[in-house]
Structure 1
Amino acid sequence: MSTAIMVVVVMTGIGIVFGFVLALTDKKFAMEVNPLIELVEDELPKGQCGGCGYAGCRAYAEAVVLDKDVPPNLCVPGKEAVATAVAKLTGKAAAKVEQKYAHVRCAGNLDNAARKYKYEGIKDCVAANLLQNGPKECQYGCIGLGTCVNNCPFGALTLGDNGLPIVNTKKCTGCGKCESVCPKNVITLLPTKAHVCVECNSHDKGAAVRKACKVGCLGCGLCARNCEYGAIKVENALAVVDTHVCIEKCSEATCLAKCPTKAIQSIIGDLGIETKTKQEIAANVSKN
């Protein structure tokens, strides 16, 4: 019995000594935390999306407070309100933040896009892409297994019944997380004031596009020739819209009229909401 008591006493003594040593060490080597970091972090949305280029909100808060060269407007989800608040706290000037939202550059759904094979593996686009560039005939098209959906920190993406992700523009913050995880680079960020968008990501020639997808961009250039402001160019067999020129100069989207596959579509400026769903685009093509 006395041995057991002795063991307890010794262990307790050792614990007290080690605790005292750790307390002294902590006090000696403690680093003073700038209280401004906590204030800045409280202003951030805590999505941990990495859209700012840093590993989470805490890392950005530390950087913007401690580094004079880090601007206060890097929090994309927080938009202008957060940029203004951070600028006020840090005493820095905040440039205006352009609001953006995620846009899926593919209308090739289960009905209008050809498949090479039936995929029955892991429900992950990155994994499926390792097998012959995915199940779609178009090597540039959305694989549709929801990797972007699963990685959206704000719940702004859902996977539609047609095999394509749907963006909830009211929830989308434009953080770019979905863009970074897509193995096909199908997702891009569009300004919320954009007038038109290209519903395709293919760089194949027209004949190959027609074989793989009914609604793909053929790279024919008719949209570019019908844009009087030069806001559209065909680059590597794909129509590309300069959204800033389009927003500043165009009031009537004449480029839409001649597109043979309806691959270029109108959207409602300031809202970032597509006027037509992918199903409606497919229906329009089938009528023509």
Structure 2
Amino acid sequence: MEHGVIEHSLIILIIMTSLGVIFGFVLAYANKKLAIEVNPLIHMVEDVLPKGQCGACGYAGCMAYAEAVVMNPDVAPNLCIPGKEPVAKAVAELTGKAAAAVEPRIAQVRCAGTHAKAAKANEYSGIQDCTAANLLFGGPKSCKYGCLGLGTCVKACPFNAMTMSEDGLPIIDPDKCTGCGKCETVCPKKVITMMPLGAPVRVNCNSHDKGAVAKKACAAACIGCTLCMKECSHGAIKMDNNLAVVDAKVCMEKCTNPTCLAKCPTKAIKQAVLGVVPGSEDIVA
């Protein structure tokens, strides 16, 4: 009886082993037969990309963009924002495409509502994340358009180009910021935007509240008074729902003396000094 059980077990083991070997050969053959050869040019393009995996190109990572720009003739070689012009030229050369000029840009925090300037509507002690705080009555600030200061953008930056200041606002490092826009996409308040490098002025506010409401919520708010717009002789400043908006291109091309800065009663519009807390530009200017 015992001998029969052992014999039966050996038969099962032999059968299972044989099946494993057969399936192994079948899978190996199928893998070889069905394997898709990757165009070596895709890897060459990927090698020149900065590997930030930021998605600024519109694709899910550097490899996806490399594959698209090599295989699709309609995909431009200058979509890698962090790589700027040198990478665009390298990709264009590898793919045989013409690369349009890449306009260098940098992140801008459109809020000067520091702890000292911005009023609070409530105390927040939950998860230290701007998106989470925003879900709770729009966050602790009275201004529902302002930076929440919990550093979600800082954590999301793939190039370590952002730090949180003691004043509760992010600081952009101009030497590290590539303008990839990752911080812009994660900000629930849409406080961060991209501006061209070389823009002479910027508006450090994101509020669309009317003057009295905006000023009560934050001492540094744009109150929509239109004085800066009226002062600008080049038409570079427009009002968008109680907020001054600067056309950086017009400003860069035509303005050599930004007299609008002196007209702003709350100093919401400032000289575009990089690498400082928004609103503190006068200290270093």
TM-score range, shorter chain: over 0.9
1:77 aligns with 2:50: no
Task: Name the SS for the 1:265 alignment partner.
Answer: strand
Alignment partner, residue 234 of structure 2: 229
Q: In 1, distance between residues paired with 2:117 and 2:9?
A: 79
Q: In 2, distance between residues paired with 1:283 and 1:155?
A: 25
Q: In 2, distance between residues paired with 1:30 and 1:281?
A: 58
Alignment partner, residue 130 of structure 1: 135
- Whether the aligned pair in 1 keeps the contact of 2:204 and 2:279 (CA below 8 Å) is no
State the Cα distance separating 1:278 from its structure 2 match. Answer: 3.7
Distance 1:279 1:216, change over 3 A: closer
Instruction: Specify the code of the residue in structure 1 equivalent to 2:76.
Output: P
Task: Name the SS for the 1:33 alignment partner.
Answer: coil
- Whether the aligned pair in 2 keeps the contact of 1:262 and 1:281 (CA below 8 Å) is no
Instruction: Specify the code of the residue in structure 1 equivalent to 2:189.
Output: K
State the Cα distance separating 1:4 from its structure 2 match. Answer: 6.5
> How large is the RMSD of aligned CA atoms in angstroms?
1.8
Q: In 2, distance between residues paired with 1:218 and 1:279?
A: 15
Instruction: Specify the code of the residue in structure 1 equivalent to 2:208.
Output: H
Q: In 2, distance between residues paired with 1:88 and 1:175?
A: 22
Instruction: Specify the code of the residue in structure 1 equivalent to 2:78.
Output: N
Q: 2:31 aligns with which of 26, 40, 52?
A: 26
* Further displaced range: 159-168 or 50-59: 159-168
Q: In 2, distance between residues paired with 1:91 and 1:279?
A: 46
State the Cα distance separating 1:219 from its structure 2 match. Answer: 0.7
In structure 2, stretches of 5+ residues that fail to align are: 1-5
State the Cα distance separating 1:193 from its structure 2 match. Answer: 1.1
- Whether the aligned pair in 2 keeps the contact of 1:112 and 1:282 (CA below 8 Å) is no
Q: Trace 1:28-107 onto structure 2 (pairs within 5 A).
A: 28-107=33-112
Aligned length: 279
* Pair member with larger Rg: 2
Alignment partner, residue 110 of structure 1: 115
Q: 1:14 aligns with which of 19, 35, 41?
A: 19
* Further displaced range: 15-24 or 48-57: 15-24
Instruction: Specify the code of the residue in structure 2 equivalent to 1:42.
Output: D
State the Cα distance separating 1:14 from its structure 2 match. Answer: 2.6
1:256 aligns with 2:261: yes
Instruction: Specify the code of the residue in structure 2 equivalent to 1:209.
Output: A
Q: In 1, distance between residues paired with 2:13 and 2:89?
A: 59
Q: In 2, distance between residues paired with 1:279 and 1:57?
A: 36
Q: What is the percentage of aligned positions where both structures have the same residue?
A: 60
Alignment partner, residue 211 of structure 1: 216
> Deviation digits for residues 111-139 of structure 1, max 9, x if unmatched?
11000101001111111111111111001
Instruction: Specify the code of the residue in structure 2 equivalent to 1:185.
Output: K
State the Cα distance separating 1:47 from its structure 2 match. Answer: 0.6
State the Cα distance separating 1:255 from its structure 2 match. Answer: 0.7
State the Cα distance separating 1:226 from its structure 2 match. Answer: 1.2
